[in-house]
Amino acid sequence: MKKILLLLFTALLALPGQAETQRPKLVVGLVVDQMRWDYLYYYEKEYRDDGLRRLLSQGYSFDNMMINYVPTVTAIGHSSIYTGSIPALHGIAANSFMKDGHMVYCCEDTTVQSVGSTSREGKMSPRNLLASGIGDQMKIASNGKSKVIGVALKDRAAILPAGHGADGAYWWDTSAGHFITSTYYMSQLPEWVNRINNKIATQPGTDVKTSVEGVTKTFQMAEAALYGEDLGDDEYTDLLAVSVSSTDAITHAFGARGKENHDVYMELDRQVASFIKTLDRRVGAGNYLLFLTADHGGAHNHNVLKSLKQPAGGLEIAKQFDQINQAVGQKLGMSGKIIKNENSGLLYLNHDLIASSGKTLAEVKQAVIDEMEKLDNILYVVDYDRALTTSIPQPIRERIVNGYNKKRSGDLFYVPRAGWENVSNKPDYRGTTHAQWNPYDAHIPFLLYGWHVTHGETSEPTYITDIAPTICQMLHIQMPNSCVGNAKSMK
């Protein structure tokens, strides 16, 4: 009888309902900085079968992926992808923002030191990020056994995706000519980092971010991390967060069309193909989950648009501030720099000046709004504290509210007309930028590939904040602690 009961118990354990939850050995997050959604298809005929086209032909694409906040910039994008949250909650309000009364860079941390160089480039950490990320949740779920590594040329693109509990984040120090980190993570570089640095280092001062070479070096570092940290080598799922920064730097300088843009995406395609082969060889095809997305899109150069008879131009917003400060000062009997700072549409007013003038903040805000809305190419200027009751279209209002962190975002946010970004308005200007709610800045790719991914696509509305909960659901772990997105399924 005992033998029969033992057999029955063993059989029950083997039933599908009792099977242990399966997880991939490795999650690879690939963020392509300033990759518009349409780049998946604009260069499609030139992509390799084993590169980006492989992700399209074998992966699952969420074609209607939008960013649901403003401003649409790098630090926020990387934070929102991995936290599933918005600036209002994760606290990264821009690449630089006001904190404790002064402007700070998003990853600035004066309590840490550079590791791998003697410059200030390593005085960085994730401490300004107020939310947990995918990697943090993996650490919690595995009781610290999962490994989490971030790699990028930009510090913020390595640090913010890796999160608070990362085993390491590595970024490029131009002054040193190689990858570094900070004492937030470790006291000295691992030997595998020294080896790859010896192999790919450049002359100090060489800016690889604005070159195709920067894409190559990013993937060389990612591959070195894969082997150096033995990622995907045990029963605990690891995370390798990789961000490609050169696509952004080159597009800023040369625009969203032309030889420079073409060449950087061809190199991205080659490197993706090579890296997938490395993952297949090292971790095993089907054993890793890869997702590709972007932190934001980017506008076409306004001179290119005008050549196609499209209304467009450069705002050159800072040139308007002297006129606005003077007009507001005359109206309210004030003198001085009333608009103190501007960053990606966020306007910070001079609170000390306002307090000493005897005027209320509300009075000054309204006066600035009135003057700025007289500008031809500004549609709205919104008082953050009254955004919900301002007469602007609901989709834009929601994005402004989502992007507003009361302690960091400033006082006002301006919305220009479509086709106008805050760049030079000169007729020979070639570059571009991003920050707005419009589809060219907010429509980004989101592709899943590999472990338990079926081929297909959907046009259902999806948001950047849905990425983290989708990945966490696939891993059967809790979503990040400030997540506002929803897990999406492959239909």
Q: How distant is the alpha carbon of residue 322 from its chain centre?
A: 33
Q: What is the pLDDT of residues 141-158, one digit of tens each?
A: 999 999 999 999 999 999
Is pLDDT above 80 for 349? yes
pLDDT of residue 19: 65
Beta-bridge partner residues of 238: 26
Angle at 124 between CA 203 and CA 436, to 5 degrees: 95
As a dihedral over the C-alpha atoms of residue 335, residue 336, residue 339, residue 340, rounded to 10 degrees, the angle is -150
The answer to whether the beta carbons of residues 309 and 257 sit under 8 Å apart is no
* Main-chain dihedrals φ then ψ at residue 231, nearest 5 degrees: -70, 140
* Residue 202 to residue 188: CA distance in whole angstroms: 20
pLDDT of residue 4: 47
For residue 168, what is the enclosing H or E element? strand 168-173
What percentage of the chain reaches a pLDDT higher than 70? 96
pLDDT of residue 101: 86
Residue found by looking up tokens 């009781």 in the block: 143
pLDDT of residue 2: 45
The answer to whether the beta carbons of residues 170 and 181 sit under 8 Å apart is yes
3-state secondary structure of 416: strand
Q: Which token pair is 424?
A: 């030079």
Q: What is the pLDDT of residues 358-411, one digit of tens each?
A: 999 999 999 999 999 999 999 999 999 999 999 999 999 999 999 999 999 999
Angle at 358 between CA 356 and CA 360, to 5 degrees: 110
Closest CA to 387 of 437, 353, 340: 437
pLDDT of residue 12: 44
Q: What is the mean pLDDT of the chain?
A: 95
The answer to whether the beta carbons of residues 24 and 451 sit under 8 Å apart is yes
Ramachandran sector of residue 231 (left: φ over 0; alpha: ψ -120 to 50; beta: rest)? beta
Q: What is the pLDDT of residues 237-296, one digit of tens each?
A: 999 999 999 999 999 999 999 999 999 999 999 999 999 999 999 999 999 999 999 999
The answer to whether the beta carbons of residues 413 and 94 sit under 8 Å apart is no
What percentage of the chain reaches a pLDDT higher than 90? 95
Q: How distant is the alpha carbon of residue 310 from its chain centre?
A: 29
- CA dihedral (250, 251, 253, 255) positive or negative: positive
Q: Place 438 in a pLDDT band, splitting at 50, 70 and 90.
A: very high
* Main-chain dihedrals φ then ψ at residue 261, nearest 5 degrees: -65, -45
Does the active-site annotation cover 181? no
Distances (CA, A) of 266 to 32, 49, 65, 198, 243: 13, 12, 23, 26, 16
* Residue 489 to residue 491: CA distance in whole angstroms: 6
Q: Which of 4-8, 89-93, 320-324 has the lowest mean pLDDT?
A: 4-8
Is pLDDT above 50 for 6? no
Burial class (CB in 10 A: 0-12, 13-18, 19+), 418: middle
Percentages (nearest 5) of helix, strand, coil residues in the chain: 40, 20, 40
Closest CA to 384 of 368, 429, 272: 368
* Residue 380 to residue 177: CA distance in whole angstroms: 44
Q: What is the pLDDT of residues 208-221, one digit of tens each?
A: 999 999 999 999 99
* Residue 146 to residue 135: CA distance in whole angstroms: 8
- Find the catalytic residue in 72, 74, 83, 465: 74
The answer to whether the beta carbons of residues 150 and 231 sit under 8 Å apart is no
The residue ranges of DSSP E strands in 309-360, in sequence order, are 313-314, 339-343, 346-349
Closest CA to 328 of 370, 295, 391, 286: 370
* Residue 65 to residue 19: CA distance in whole angstroms: 34
Which ranges constitute the DSSP H helices of 187-245? 191-200, 213-228
- CA dihedral (23, 24, 26, 32) positive or negative: negative
- pTM of the predicted model, to two decimals? 0.95
Residues constituting the chain: 491
